[in-house]
Amino acid sequence: MTPKPKRITDIGPPHYEKFLPPVIKRNYGQWKYHENLAPGVLCHVAESGEKLYTVRAGSPRLLSVHTIRLFADLADKYCGGYLRFTSRNNVEFLLTEPANIEPLKQDLQAAGYPVGGTNNSISNIVHTQGWVHCHSSATDASGLVKSMMDALFPYFVEEKLPAKLRLAVACCLNMCGAVHCSDIAVLGVHRKPPKIRHDLLPKICEVPTLIASCPTGAIRPATVDGKQSVEVIEEQCMYCGNCYTVCPAMPLNDPENDGISIWVGGKVSNARSTPKFTKLAIPFLPNNPPRWPEVVDAVVNIVEVYASHAKKFERLGEWIERIGWPKFFQLTGIEFTRYHIDDFKNAGMTYARSTHIRF
Amino acid sequence: MAENGKPKTKLLDELEKGPWPSFVTEIKKTSDVSPMCDDLLGQLELSYEEKKGHWKHGGIVGVLGYGGGVIGRYSDVPEQFPKVAHFHTMRVNQPSGWFYTSDALRTLCGIWERHGSGLTNMHGSTGDIIFLGTKTDQLEPAFAELGAAGFDLGGSGSCMRTPSCCVGPARCEWACYDTMKICNDLTQAYQDELHRPPFPYKFKIKCAGCPNDCVAAVARADLSIIGMWKDDLRQDDAAVAEYAAAGLDIQKDVCDRCPTRCMSWDGQTLTIENSECVRCMHCINVMPKALRPGKERGAAILVGSKAPIVQGALLSSVLVPFVPEAELFETLQELIKRIWEFWDEYGKNRERVGELIQRVGMANFLDAIGLDPAPEMVTAPRDNPYIFLQKETAK
């Protein structure tokens, strides 16, 4: 019995039109403006005068089928069965009846899914698999996110920041997701070179690919005990873990030395200033499950200092560019170290090449 | 401390406290669907105790006919947690804009309850529905049921990954092109490249309807399609006056925040020098009732963004400053064809398009794909004199 004859392939996703509520089909591309009615509640007004109400709720992203069914039931109860998810993994209910907004909010909150995440709030944290599913993670993702969002919860359900503030977590330097362009990013890092399994390496790894995977050229071919393998020039290794990605015989997980770095000041939108990469704020904090208190404290501190100093509409990175990095380190109390000074390619671009110095 | 209950998840139980919805609760309440959930929690608790992951490296599994779409994963402590000895992820291609009906979601839940752990991610960072955790022998049956329900797998490996888009014209007055349609059309046009990895490395496409870039296309896609307009902002003076009357400080909050200072406010009228506007969206974001993108709409096409590995992180850079909406799909198809031909020919193993451009130089890349250089492509001309002159330019 070959399964081949009956196979359905290459059909792609279902066409989105099947899933659009009638009010959206009627006003597709004909929206006039929108208003923010309350944290987590938007109203879009079409040229036709029709209104669409959106209620946005936070989600842990990792969802049980039971929770998805709960969302489906709420969509049936309040909005004709139509809902969507956002690019930050919140869930949105699409309503035409404003009287349903409050009951829906109450049902969501009673089930433990808070309404918020709009405008100048801290919306959901874009994050990755961590210890739940990935082999190369230097930390967990879901646990960090839960710990941070518990501490930052008032910022999700209210809109009290100068501008929006995007948080992201990536559990290793592959930076799946948006860590390299977020206002505050939490990134799992290693601090020890890989341990080479010379017995396994020739059997399971392609050596040229392995050598090419190293950003700093720290991996060289070597003969060990008469067998072809590699050596790592440890002074050149900065523990990125890319060699492990391509070669299972180069593990570098190390519970005592793996941990967290914190990055700040990135953005993707073009509003006011051009998109920016995040920059290093804190080179290392320990992995301290289940609550990662050092990481949570550090993130809350940065949020609070930013919130109390930035001007209206100023994103974290824009605020830092205005006040300067020395002032950022001074105001946050974060120590500036040798590790903050770039020493990768074109590093000179980040050195201060003027006498514009504040005292 | 949660001493009572299941002692084996003492650390994870802590994460059921607090106001934010708990992933631990999500896993626990799914154990009636599959005993995989108990072993997943058990293994995760071990990871929390030992501060390290317990998944074996890699894993190559899939469905017949496809080279991607499933991420194989095996526990490295299978004796202790046999139910997650296999714990593969299936990526299911999401509909444009992540819109669903309750019925469609229930169908997906049913399929995953029958063939997997009952755990999902809604959604993966690239956009796919993530079916989190199943065994190898369940991949084909799950795939067959997905196909019958009208869903297909998404991408993984060195392929065109699942494209994604912002909500666009479905619910946003700023959408400068139909992101939902372009995303869907590209996904359908390149099903082969999505399902059967043909490339040196991964290739991602994201469609953002305006420069607010709500899908982070500039940072997370090799090809970033970002909505733009070419003519003047549409301005409603009466609505501007209403914002001013309601207390908005138009000078400070709008004019002074404009990156090109192309706006002025005399207390009565807002004047915009549109030829100096860079379409950053700030003034529109602040006064959505008064200002709107122009009517001559389309998109800017940017190329090359990626995360740090190997040669450093890149943001996408301008390739085509403006394509009118009516020509967008055709232009994209032509550009994609040329980019893929060149990258396939010259890209090294595991070299992203952005890194290839860095290696060969943007000018050579432009030659290769048949585009003329334009000043919109750079923030500034080069500041070094190490210029490679083409042979015919010197006598």
The confidence score (pLDDT) of residue A2 equals 56
pLDDT (0 to 100) of residue A5 = 64
- Which chain A residues are closer than 8 Å to B133 by Cβ? 133
What pTM does this model have? Answer: 0.97
**pLDDT tens readout for residues B282-300:** 999 999 999 999 999 999 9
A124 touches chain B (CB under 8 A): no
pLDDT of residue B4: 38
Q: Does A283 touch chain B (CB under 8 A)?
A: no
Tell me the β-bridge partners of B234.
B292
Residue B1 pLDDT more than 50? no
Q: Which 3 state secondary structure label does DSSP give B277?
A: coil
pLDDT at B98: 98
Chain A within 8 Å of B15 (Cβ-Cβ)? yes
Q: What confidence score (pLDDT) does residue B3 get?
A: 38
The string of pLDDT tens digits covering residues A246-264 is 999 999 999 999 999 999 9
* Minimal-distance CA residue of chain A relative to B126: A177
Of A72, A130, A270, the CB nearest to B280: A270
pLDDT band at B395; cut points 50, 70, 90: confident
- Distance, CA of B67 to CA of B299 (rounded, Å): 32
pLDDT digits (tens, 9 = 90+) for A290-303: 999 999 999 999 99
pLDDT at B296: 98
Q: Residue B392: what pLDDT?
A: 77
- Residue B218 with chain A: CB contacts under 8 Å: 181, 268, 275
Element (H, E) at A242: helix A242-246
Kindly provide the ipTM of the predicted complex, given to two decimals: 0.96
3-state secondary structure of A215: coil
Segment A64-116, tens digit of pLDDT: 999 999 999 999 999 999 999 999 999 999 999 999 999 999 999 999 999 99
- Residue B58: the pLDDT is 78
Q: What is the mean pLDDT of chain A?
A: 96
Helix, coil or strand: residue A38: strand
The amino acid that residue A15 corresponds to is H
Q: Closest Cα to residue A131, out of A289, A241, A249, A257? A: A289
Strands of A41-46's sheet in order across:
A31-38, A41-46, A51-57, A91-95, A82-85, B99-101
Q: How far apart are CA B53 and CA A134, in angstroms?
A: 7
What angle separates helix A293-309 from helix A142-157, to the nearest 10 degrees? 30
Taking residues B261-272, report their average pLDDT. Answer: 96
**Which among A86, A137, A275 has CB closest to B53?**
A137
Q: How far apart are CA B291 and CA A271, in angstroms?
A: 14
Whole-number pLDDT of residue A248? 95
pLDDT tens profile A165-218: 999 999 999 888 889 999 999 999 999 999 999 999 999 999 999 999 999 999
Query: What percent of chain A is predicted at pLDDT more than 70?
Result: 99
Convert the pLDDT of each residue in B320-361 to its tens digit.
999 999 999 999 999 999 999 999 999 999 999 999 999 999
| Confidence at B211, pLDDT banded by 50, 70, 90 | very high
Judged by CB atoms closer than 8 Å, whether chains meet at A87 and B106 is answered as no
pLDDT tens-digit map of A40-64: 999 999 999 999 999 999 999 999 9
What pLDDT score was predicted for residue B274? 97
Q: Is any Cβ of chain B less than 8 angstroms from the Cβ of A348?
A: no
Question: What is the least distance, in Å, from the CA of A254 to any CA of chain B?
Answer: 7
Instruction: Say which residues have a Cβ less than 8 Å from residue B270's Cβ, sequence separation at least 6.
Output: B235, B237, B240, B250, B254, B255, B263, B264, B290
| pLDDT, tens digit (0-9, with 9 covering 90-100), for B194-206 | 999 999 999 999 9
Disruptive mutation site among B55, B90, B125 for chain A (greatest number of A CBs within 10 Å):
B125
Whether the CB of B288 is below 8 Å from some CB of chain A: the reply is yes
Amino acid B5: pLDDT: 37
Interface check for A93 against chain B (CB to CB < 8 A): the answer is no
Q: How many whole angstroms separate alpha carbon A134 and alpha carbon A146?
A: 18
pLDDT score recorded for residue A345 = 86
Q: What is the mean pLDDT of chain B?
A: 96
Q: Quick one: what percent of chain B has pLDDT higher than 70?
A: 98
Q: Is A238 exposed, middle or buried (0-12, 13-18, 19+ CB in 10 A)?
A: middle
In which band, very low, low, confident or very high, does the pLDDT at A1 lie, cut at 50, 70 and 90? low
